[in-house]
Structure 1
Amino acid sequence: MNKGAYLLGIDIGGTGSKAGVFTLDGKLKGSGYSEYQMTSTVPGQAEHDAEIWWQATIQAIQDAIKYVDVNEILALGIG
């Protein structure tokens, strides 16, 4: 196994974006979370702004990768 081989997981959820960097054997090396709010212009309906999702996801990833060499990230998963 490569010592510096990592996997990046990204979760874009209903209230925030999360990111985690893991070794190939599953050890967490870094994580990030950025929260966002839903808006509602109609009762019983919720909306999200895709630009806010994007910016929150970027922030979560930046926090997660702070302590690893990004050139050693082999794959990513988005959910």
Structure 2
Amino acid sequence: MDFTYAKAAITHFWRIEDEGGASTVHTYELDAVTSSYVATGIHRGRLKVSVPFPPTSILTPSCRERGHGTGSWPPD
């Protein structure tokens, strides 16, 4: 986990990974008491969250299959 984000008080952190050709999003939220990130979900197939904003996105095909670099999101 990148603690630089926590020091900067970035409250939400998403990590996007390619798992066997499908995109998976790991979501985290900064705990104000401990100043560390707490996992809030693992999303496969569809990303649906209410914070920090309520996007709903289909997670397939993966970014890599669409010709984007691993860190590129969202696919076009």
TM-score, normalised via structure 1 length:
0.40
Work out which of the two has the higher radius of gyration on C-alpha atoms and give 1 or 2: 1
More strand by share: 2
TM-score, normalised via structure 2 length:
0.41
Structure having greater relative contact order (Cα 8 Å, sep ≥ 6): 1
More helix by share: 1
